[in-house]
Amino acid sequence: MEKAIIEGAVKSVNGVDKDSIKVLFNSSKVKVDFDSAVTSIEEIQKAIENVGYPVLKAKVKAA
C-alpha cells in the first residue's frame, strides 16, 4: 500500500516525530512534526522522493 511506503520513508528520517505522521493519500498530503535542529523539510522530501513519489510543494508551519 502506497500510504505505508510513504509513512515508512518519513519514519526513517531522524528527527521526525514518528507518532505525528499523517499520510492523506486522497489529498496528496503528508503532515508531520519534526525537530528542525535534527532534520529539515528537504530531508523529509528526499525520503519521500527516494521511494518513488514526487513532492510538488512543501510548506513548514512553526509549532
Comparing CA positions, the residue from 61, 1, 5 lying closest to residue 32 is: 61
Q: What per-residue confidence (pLDDT) applies to 55?
A: 94
**For residue 53, is pLDDT > 90?**
yes
Q: Give per-residue pLDDT as tens, 6-45.
A: 999 999 999 999 999 999 988 899 999 999 999 999 999 9
pTM beyond cutoff 0.85: yes
- Distance (Å, whole) CA 12 – CA 18: 9
